[in-house]
A and B are shown apart, each in its own frame.
Chain A
Amino acid sequence: MFIQIKNLSKVFKKNLAVDKINFHIEKNKTVGLLGPNGCGKTTSIGMMLGLIKPSEGEIMIDNKNLESFKRDDILTRINFCSPYIELPKKLTVKQNLEVYGRLYGVKNLSERILEISQDLDIKNFFKRKTGELSSGQKNRVSLAKSLINKPEILLLDEPTASLDPDIGDFVRSYIQEYRSKNQVTILLASHNMSEVERLCDSIIMMKKGKIIDKGTCNEIVKKHGRNNLEETFLKLARSNDELR
């Protein structure tokens, strides 16, 4: 097991945000993290990124506790992309990639920037300030930043939120292509069920800080007697019972 989450909990004051969750992700697999707003997805990702200290439990990477890694050693192997965080708006696209490439200690940085900019089709606005870009362009730049270090673990938080269908499809296709060519383990938090069905090998459903179900998309849809993942999500999100 590449990533193993054991009894992970987080309490903010008296609010239990994540409640003893357990799951694992095999190397080079993509796992979807689903659940209604406020179910603990972002908190779980925050703990995996070392931004939030767990109240209880362990995060194991390659059978080693995340806490025992040196901060810069482990973070060199991870990256994160979310439309809710941005790159410095007043820097150009190229400057942002250069700064983050250097922070991640990327070797042959110029070549890497060129490579990723061609892959994500961002080269034509390389010299524009990031804050002046459209949502779709910013999203691709943000994805470029998250792949600049060729991470072994990629955490994606709603990577196609607020994108038009065309750009959304471009991003999904690129993630699929990138995954097929590179060794990368992905945890994808998303509210887009067709995206999850397309990209994920398996899914984890969360509600009120707990995992209420997990398995492959087909298994979960069948198990709950629904036609697709969207209907299954609605059933689980609206039910009062916790299922396991």
Chain B
Amino acid sequence: MNFGKIYALGLRHIYLISNSLPRIIDLIYWPTVQIFLWGFISKFFTLSSDYYSNTVGIILTAAILYDFLFRVSISFNMMFLEEIWSRNFTNLFIAPIRISEIITSLTLTAILRALIGLVPAAILAIPLFGVSVFKLGLPLLLLLLPLYLFGVTLGLLVTSGLLRFGPSFENIAWASLFFLAPLGCIYYPIEILPYSLQIVAKGLPLVHIFEEMRNILLNNTVNYFDIIKSISISIVYFILGVIIFYSSYLGAKQRGTLINMGE
């Protein structure tokens, strides 16, 4: 791994963001809207539901964590799509940077993009709704880790689709997370799902992350076994994502799509 090259590719995206105020506003705008929306919903539920009555920020915390996953994944996809939109794809793939370095750079830059949007929104939630995700402390980091890995994995799968099917796969990029959200049990316990879907949901790290988040907020205890389980599942998916990405790259070389990938 050459960290100079990983930094160079990251720098390309940092310049892209820093050159454009509308881009920075766009990164912050959507998480903030989410926080406002879920903040008011959360407030209403808190006043009207026994389940949530003791835990003011349970929905808002779930919304912030889900948005983190969403932002990481979308950021990964966006950075890849930027290369297609700007017709820079060929330049990137003929540069002396390894595929592993491209993945590493996108993975590291994705978290930066996600945090630019999410940190101001999470800070805003403190005075507005009296909810601070930071109160979760160390367990927050342990919950964010599998979310980050899974977000990157979804990004890898979508970008593999872009390599395989070309820019027409772009719409799937936007839809990918909404497809998994119902099974992630983000805002409700897993028992709400029909039994057959519970089995499928348990194969995803999201259920374990959000169940554990609710456990911490409702019972004030941390089940590290569940956290380790969610991290382990995320690592398995991540490895699978990397394998699929490599396989799509090799397929694109066979089909010759790397040389004329563009809008």
Give which listed residue, B20, B91, B253, B259, contacts A87 with CB less than 8 A: B91
Contact present for A85 and B90 (CB under 8 Å):
yes
Contact present for B96 and A73 (CB under 8 Å):
yes
Contact present for B95 and A104 (CB under 8 Å):
yes
Q: How many residues does chain B have at the interface if contact means C-beta atoms less than 8 Å apart?
A: 36
B229 beta carbon closer than 8 Å to chain A: no
Most buried by A among B91, B99, B253: B91
Report the separation of the CA atoms of residues A88 and B8 in the bound assembly, to the nearest whole angstrom: 13
Given A72-B96, A90-B19, A90-B20, are A100 and B259 neighbors across the interface (CB < 8 Å)?
Answer: no
Chain A contacts of B95 at CB under 8 A? 75, 100, 103-104
Nearest CB in chain A: distance from B117 CB, A: 18
Report the separation of the CA atoms of residues A91 and B82 in the bound assembly, to the nearest whole angstrom: 12
Contact present for A102 and B256 (CB under 8 Å):
no
Contacts of B87-129 to chain A: CB distance below 8 A: 87-91, 93-99
A4 beta carbon closer than 8 Å to chain B: no
Report the separation of the CA atoms of residues A91 and B9 in the bound assembly, to the nearest whole angstrom: 13
The 8 A CB mask of A45-69 against B (1 = contact, 0 = none) is: 0100111110000000000000000
A195 beta carbon closer than 8 Å to chain B: no
Nearest CB in chain B: distance from A143 CB, A: 13
- Report the contact-size class of chain A (Cβ under 8 Å from the partner): 35 or more
B10-18, B33-41, B60-68, B199-207: which lies at the A interface? B10-18
A6 beta carbon closer than 8 Å to chain B: no
Quick one: closest A residue to B17, CB to CB?
A90
A242 beta carbon closer than 8 Å to chain B: no
Contacts of A74-96 to chain B: CB distance below 8 A: 74-76, 78-80, 82, 84-92, 95
Chain A contacts of B20 at CB under 8 A? 90
Contacts of B48-81 to chain A: CB distance below 8 A: none
A30 beta carbon closer than 8 Å to chain B: no
Contact present for A102 and B86 (CB under 8 Å):
no
Nearest CB in chain A: distance from B112 CB, A: 16
Give which listed residue, B4, B83, B94, contacts A75 with CB less than 8 A: B94
Quick one: closest B residue to A94, CB to CB?
B15
Contact present for B253 and A53 (CB under 8 Å):
yes
Given A85-B88, A100-B91, are A71 and B98 neighbors across the interface (CB < 8 Å)?
Answer: yes
Chain A contacts of B43 at CB under 8 A? none
Nearest CB in chain A: distance from B134 CB, A: 33
Report the separation of the CA atoms of residues A42 and B5 in the bound assembly, to the nearest whole angstrom: 27
Nearest CB in chain B: distance from A71 CB, A: 6
18 A-B pairs, CB-CB below 8 angstroms? A42-B259, A49-B94, A49-B259, A52-B258, A72-B98, A78-B94, A85-B90, A88-B16, A91-B19, A92-B19, A102-B11, A103-B8, A103-B9, A103-B95, A105-B4, A105-B5, A131-B86, A145-B91
Ranked 7 nearest A-B pairs via Cβ: A102-B8, A75-B96, A72-B96, A46-B259, A86-B87, A76-B96, A85-B90
